Structure 1
Amino acid sequence: MSGDVPNPIELGLARALARVGLSASTGLTRLTGGATMESWRFATGGEDLILRRAPSLAFIANRPMSHASEAAVIEAARAAGVTAPEVLTVLQESDGLGSGFIMRALPGTSNPKDILAMDGADTILREAARDLARIHSLSREDLPADAPVMDYRAAIADLRQQFEEAGGDRPIIALGLKWMEDNCPDECAPVLNHGDYRMGNILAKDGHLTGVLDWELAHFGDPHEDLAFGCMAVWRFARYDRPALGLGSLDDYFAAYEAESGRTVDRERFRYWLIHRTVWWALGCLKCAKTWREGSDRSLERVVISRRTSEQELDLLMLLEEEIWQELPRKPLDTSLIQRKFSTLSEARFGEIATAVLDWLATIKDDMQAHDRFQHAVACNALGIIARESEAYLVSPWNRSLSDALLKYGLHDDPEILDDLRLMALGKVMVDSPKYPALAVARKKWTGED
């Protein structure tokens, strides 16, 4: 990014860094990932720093907590012994960089693939449980007044409103919302939740935890919410077989957390929040399409994330059927309805056109660096979705009347509806995310196919 003429970010950084007695930045590089915030790495005074900022002020207009308060939460956590980064300064309007803050870079990688391949996964798991317990030890007096407090029932009502705004026509999500309304636990004494504690938001190096990142969703609530979120199937990545953060067993995770916190983990509350946050992320994915359409974030990544809704529907259905249909007779699911729908056509179909563009993108991948390479991968995912959807029959995942019925009445052990929901989930994930680890598990479970 650096050159003879500084770009606006470098100029803004110079102003912000001067405020804390540091020299201008060098080696400014956009980091990959980040579902809502931008992250930039740069050097000054012989050390690496991180700029974390919003892509636009409009994008964070409705955030319950300011970046200044988020920075204060991070500093309070660091003071409590959490491996959180040191915040050096919060951006000011005069910096011209929008909203955000600058912090010291921590060692290690946040790449889940690299962390999950490290020796010593059990050590990282224990250290993650330790840090989570320390986060939960912070009191209201330690933190900014605008740190939000979750009202469980209000949170469900908000998710239901999001569902209606998104069309209210996804039956599996409707079923999840109904289950949450019927099974919402009584509120407990609130603790500080990180709110996004999962693989991808922790750093590790040489088999040890080195950092906890991305505090924008911090709030007060049930500690089981934080415990459950990182154990969702989506955040276990390739290690579906390790239910605790992709690193190990729930028993080991809970034992380490209990030893540090002095609390006892309630398995039923944990299960509730596992389902709640799965519905939450499903609706968060759906909302990404709206965000893109409205123009507050026109990134390619936003569009592709919206198609990850189906992953959460698959996970949600597998979670719910453990309880709802455990007594029903099982028979292999007939997946013939989601087979290919074309045989021959003389001209290129649009899926074939997408595949041709994919082939061309492969030829330029090696010429890309850093964030462009990440965007290349996102573009390939987008084109793959187009190619697969053009070729497949789908049992429609959009059904408003069924969704309304499930929201109102739930299910009454109807195996035919169960099969319809399974076909919806399988077919959609086969199009949207065919390499999603839970898909192979669901296919084996529901069809007997390897």
Structure 2
Amino acid sequence: MGMSPDELSAGLARVCARAGLGALLLEPQRLTGGAVMESWRFVADDSAYVLRRAPSLAFMEGRPYGHSTEAALIEAARLAGVTAPEVVAVLEPADGLGSGFIMRALPGTADPKVILGCDDPKDLLRQAARDLARIHRLRPAVVPDGVPVMDTRAGIADLKAQFIEAGGDRPIIALGLKWLEDNCPPPVEPVLNHGDYRMGNLLVEGSTLTGVLDWEIAHFGDRHEDLAFGCMAVWRFARYDRPALGLGSLEDYIAAYEAESGAQVDPARFRFWTIYRTVWWALGCLKMAAQWRSGADRMLERVVISRRTSEQELDLLLLLEEDAPEAERAREVTKPFRTRARTLPPQGDATIAELVTAVSEWLGSVKHRMEGHDRFQLAVARNALGIVAREMDIEYSGVDPRDMSEYFLSGDDTLETKGVLAKLRFDALELIEVDSPKYPALAVAQKKWLGEN
């Protein structure tokens, strides 16, 4: 389980003394959000700082580089004019805090609800395009050793391996994997990618960008990957109607990026990376449940995020169906009636028992405390219980979805196969109405596929 408040404060006091930051004045407060790493805000000698740390050392296993490299990368970006935080200390084993680093706190919020309601979203979008272009100008000579260069085909193969490991029973993801294999573009000169450049990782005060956060998956690769990722439907949050980071139009975003970078954006590459990262995040969501099961991180968010896989499946199908024949796109879709076409529940998802267990463990850990990060956890717990209530009404029946997944992976079935698209649409709607009925893309899909307003 997590570190106690006393252990955390004692460790921070040791770091502050070692790094010359002064005496720890206020106990650290857990910041909300953060699907992977923990963030804690604290004050030392009247200056505010943020500790970024892994929930456990086991959580860092298998990562391409550690926090010392990430910290050096952030400093390199900041010195190159990127709106990045100042790193003041990297954790050492003697600190007793595990793996992480400390940054000087910046003004503003990372809350998408607040940011997307700002007074001048168009100007903020231009600032975001400016900083992304600056990141892409960073060259290997100024970046710390250990930042990997992405091989796209190897990346697709890794996603496929993750899919099989998670059960191989999500047909829409299988269809996406096959599409990626068939449409992989030729290599280009790699640039530094932030890797997670999206709403939620941008710090904003008013309508001004004040920080680019969360650099843990930065790598060298195709610039279109960074551009496309932030424009995925999931990162627009409530502003599905504003495709570029939830702030504005793709045309404005791309024009601002091209003007700052001097590079031209290729629409075909942009679409490829939108589909790639949608598959990537779908599998990333599934992986959260596995991390919870392993004990690497028993935070409640893990099992709930795993159920957001259905959001990505819906988004993925909306992207892929553009390639389907007109006759298949026009085929009638039956409105879901909450009986999943499966003989077995998905293997990769958190189960009902695991969801309930996670909620129970969290309630036992907070008891009389309910402030700071616990308020966020309360909202997550309510989401988990909502999933439980909705899924209890479902009966599993029909064919094993692994069969359909195998047909897609082999190419035996495609979106040209009669009736396949209609079935996938039905299944996608049925899943998401249980897992995430308020997801903005659901209303878009219902209107498009069912004619509902």
Regarding TM over 0.5, the answer is yes
Question: What is residue 232 of structure 1 aligned with on the other side?
Answer: 232
CA contact (8 A) 2:59 2:296 kept: yes
Question: What is residue 347 of structure 1 aligned with on the other side?
Answer: none
RMSD, aligned CA = 2.2
Question: What is residue 23 of structure 2 aligned with on the other side?
Answer: 24
AA paired with 1:142? V
Cα pair distance change 1:18/1:266, threshold 3 Å: same
Instruction: Provide the secondary structure at the position in 2 that maps to 1:101.
Output: strand
Residue 36 (structure 2) pairs with residue 33 (structure 1):
no
AA paired with 1:428? L
Question: What is residue 289 of structure 2 aligned with on the other side?
Answer: 289
Question: What is residue 271 of structure 2 aligned with on the other side?
Answer: 271
Q: Deviations over 1:1-44 (max 9, x none)?
A: xxxx9811111111111122122223210111111111000011
Q: Distance in 2 between matches of 1:321 and 1:74?
A: 39
CA contact (8 A) 1:171 1:398 kept: no
For 1:242-253, what aligned pairs fall within 5 Å after superposition? 242-253=242-253
Question: What is residue 109 of structure 1 aligned with on the other side?
Answer: 109
Q: Deviations over 1:163-197 (max 9, x none)?
A: 01011111000000000000000110111100000
AA paired with 1:390? M
Q: Distance in 1 between matches of 2:100 and 2:266?
A: 36
CA contact (8 A) 2:31 2:40 kept: yes
Q: Distance in 1 between matches of 2:329 and 2:170?
A: 25
Unaligned residue ranges in structure 1 (runs of 5+): 341-349
Residue 441 (structure 2) pairs with residue 442 (structure 1):
no
Q: Deviations over 1:66-95 (max 9, x none)?
A: 100000110011011111000001001111
Q: Distance in 1 between matches of 2:292 and 2:399?
A: 21
Cα pair distance change 1:412/1:375, threshold 3 Å: closer
Q: Distance in 2 between matches of 1:93 and 1:159?
A: 33
CA contact (8 A) 2:321 2:329 kept: no
Q: Deviations over 1:43-81 (max 9, x none)?
A: 112111000000000011111011000001100110111
Q: Distance in 1 between matches of 2:425 and 2:107?
A: 43
Question: What is residue 323 of structure 1 aligned with on the other side?
Answer: 323
Cα pair distance change 1:329/1:128, threshold 3 Å: closer
Question: What is residue 388 of structure 1 aligned with on the other side?
Answer: 390
Question: What is residue 345 of structure 1 aligned with on the other side?
Answer: none
How many residues align? The count is 429
Residue 414 (structure 2) pairs with residue 414 (structure 1):
no
Q: Distance in 2 between matches of 1:398 and 1:269?
A: 34
TM-score, with structure 2 as normaliser: 0.91
AA paired with 2:118? M
Question: What is residue 137 of structure 2 aligned with on the other side?
Answer: 137
Residue 427 (structure 2) pairs with residue 428 (structure 1):
no
Q: Distance in 2 between matches of 1:117 and 1:93?
A: 42
AA paired with 1:442? A
Bigger mean CA offset, 366-375 vs 63-72: 366-375
Q: Distance in 2 between matches of 1:384 and 1:320?
A: 30
Instruction: Provide the secondary structure at the position in 2 that maps to 1:289.
Output: helix
Q: Distance in 2 between matches of 1:41 and 1:202?
A: 17
Cα pair distance change 1:128/1:217, threshold 3 Å: same
Q: Distance in 1 between matches of 2:297 and 2:406?
A: 31
Residue of 371, 379, 382 corresponding to 1:369 = 371
Question: What is residue 50 of structure 2 aligned with on the other side?
Answer: 50
Residue 15 (structure 2) pairs with residue 12 (structure 1):
no
Q: Using the TM superposition, give the Cα deviation of residue 449 of structure 1 relative to its aligned residue in structure 2, in angstroms.
A: 1.1
Q: Distance in 2 between matches of 1:318 and 1:209?
A: 31
CA contact (8 A) 2:338 2:393 kept: no
Q: Deviations over 1:233-289 (max 9, x none)?
A: 000000000000000000000000001100000111000000000000000111111
Q: Distance in 2 between matches of 1:47 and 1:233?
A: 37
Q: Distance in 1 between matches of 2:248 and 2:55?
A: 35
Q: Distance in 1 between matches of 2:25 and 2:439?
A: 38
Instruction: Provide the secondary structure at the position in 1 that maps to 2:392.
Output: helix
Q: Distance in 1 between matches of 2:397 and 2:240?
A: 26
Q: Distance in 1 between matches of 2:69 and 2:125?
A: 28
TM-score, with structure 1 as normaliser: 0.91
